[in-house]
A and B are shown apart, each in its own frame.
Chain A
């Protein structure tokens, strides 16, 4: 069975500072990896995804993540954060397209990013 670990439940950071949100996964097969962002009282919005190819993936809002197969990690980074980046960030893993064509994502417990002035 697959699982996702987000070690940091909260990450405070000052505006314009860099940030890294950590994500490690466990799976017995090749995986697809995702980062989603959730703003208060809203649904989840896809930030970026890794399916195959280049291990450095760029997403929306200046975020990027690097897939590291040997360390089973998919850490999210941004070189300079903004107040508007304050939100909850979820890492997720999928073991690929299921029989029937669907995607079953397993989520981590989330990391609350709080950007301060």
Chain B
């Protein structure tokens, strides 16, 4: 009974490189969310996606960040030209279709990005 799967768990990048974080939602879930957790802070919403659609990206930085959830395969959060301030834990969550929605989100174990 696989939960939300994220990889890589840890990623180290040098400034200016690209980071790609992947997320496979729980089986049967059609909604994916990305959150960022900075040191000593709570989780901040970034983006909410369904298959092939970005529903709400109000928390995404205007530049360098993008997200997708293709018809096939995992959701991907992409950070271009990383800077030290991007160092954080990035959590993916999923939720089931509306008819089975019980309100909560189901979280993965996170991808911890370190920018040198």
A97, A98, A101, A107 pick with most chain B CB within 10 angstroms: A101
Which range contains the number of B residues in contact with the other chain? 20 to 34
Whether A105 touches B91, Cβ cut-off 8 Å, given contacts A43-B4, A110-B42, is: no
Partner of B103, one of A32, A45, A108: A32
On chain A, the residues within 8 Å of B45 by CB distance are: 104-106
On chain A, the residues within 8 Å of B41 by CB distance are: 109-110
Inter-subunit contact A107/B43 (CB<8 Å): yes
Contact of B95 with A by CB under 8 A: yes
Q: How many A residues touch B, CB cutoff 8 Å? A: 29
Q: List the one stretch of B14-22, B72-80, B107-115 in contact with chain A.
A: B107-115
A-side interface mostly:
loop
Contact of B56 with A by CB under 8 A: yes
On chain B, the residues within 8 Å of A90 by CB distance are: 42-43
Inter-subunit contact A100/B103 (CB<8 Å): no
> Chain B: residues with CB nearer than 8 A to chain A?
4, 30-31, 33, 35, 40-45, 48, 50, 55-56, 91, 93, 95, 97-98, 101-110, 112
